[in-house]
Structure 1
């Protein structure tokens, strides 16, 4: 089985943003996202793989037998857009998406061009809902006691 790419690398998060992100707006948005996700998750950011900034971690296992570790919340400042890993497919999260603002979405990733395009209160709600969902369904650092 292939080795998971989303493992903790030990790379310094600020150094990654400063060296990887060449757009000043995206760099500022990345540092703002780091502050917000740290505040909402209660954990320091760490690097997962070559380009994902993660907050907390959880272990997943699919019915297929594939398993691994991933951040509870995370994002990547990719060239095309900020890729947000903050979504769990719950009824509440689906309702909150209507208030998020300008974004695109794949199955579990939310893509935004810049933070000013989205409602940060809605983003916070999505993050809190995801922490709750992961805590209830996975073994994680976010486990609600």
Structure 2
């Protein structure tokens, strides 16, 4: 069975965020880092070269494939912020209605900039998503 392509690394999260070229993504990344750290009470860990994760869970598919993944997190990509793990909990469907401007795809939530969303709602999404992912999706 093949190894997961993305796993935890020893790269320093603060160094990674300080090096983000786009000034809005860099500033938003620092705000997200503070939010995720405070809400999850988990240390930030770089997963692969660009994903900042908080907590992790072990998964096992019916096919037999298994591995570890970040529970919740984000990546300050060039075009937008990719937010991971925030759309699985049942409560998030209602929260998305009042979040603001976003897109979804492949289990991710994409936000162009934090100014486009209600950060209180985003914080609530982190609050409900983190325990859901760790406690429900993990094996």
| TM-score, structure 1 normalization | 0.88
Q: What does residue 134 of structure 1 align with?
A: 133
8 Å CA contact 1:37, 1:55 repeated in 2: yes
* 1:95-114 deviation per Cα after TM superposition (whole angstroms, max 9, x unaligned): 11101100010131000111
Structure 1: distance between partners of 2:22 and 2:100: 22
Question: RMSD of the alignment, in Å?
Answer: 1.5
Q: What does residue 74 of structure 2 align with?
A: 75
1:122 aligns with 2:116: no
8 Å CA contact 1:73, 1:86 repeated in 2: yes
Which runs of 5 or more residues in structure 1 are unaligned? 141-145
Which 4+ residue blocks in structure 1 deviate beyond 3 angstroms? none
8 Å CA contact 1:29, 1:114 repeated in 2: yes
Q: What does residue 6 of structure 1 align with?
A: 6
Structure 1: distance between partners of 2:50 and 2:22: 15
Q: What does residue 16 of structure 1 align with?
A: 16
Paired residue secondary structure (1:56): strand
| TM-score, structure 2 normalization | 0.92
Tell me how far 1:62 sits from its aligned partner. 1.3
8 Å CA contact 1:6, 1:48 repeated in 2: yes
8 Å CA contact 1:88, 1:129 repeated in 2: no
Q: What does residue 106 of structure 1 align with?
A: 105
Tell me how far 1:66 sits from its aligned partner. 1.6
How is 1:79-98 mapped onto 2 (pairs within 5 angstroms)? 79-98=78-97
Which runs of 5 or more residues in structure 2 are unaligned? none
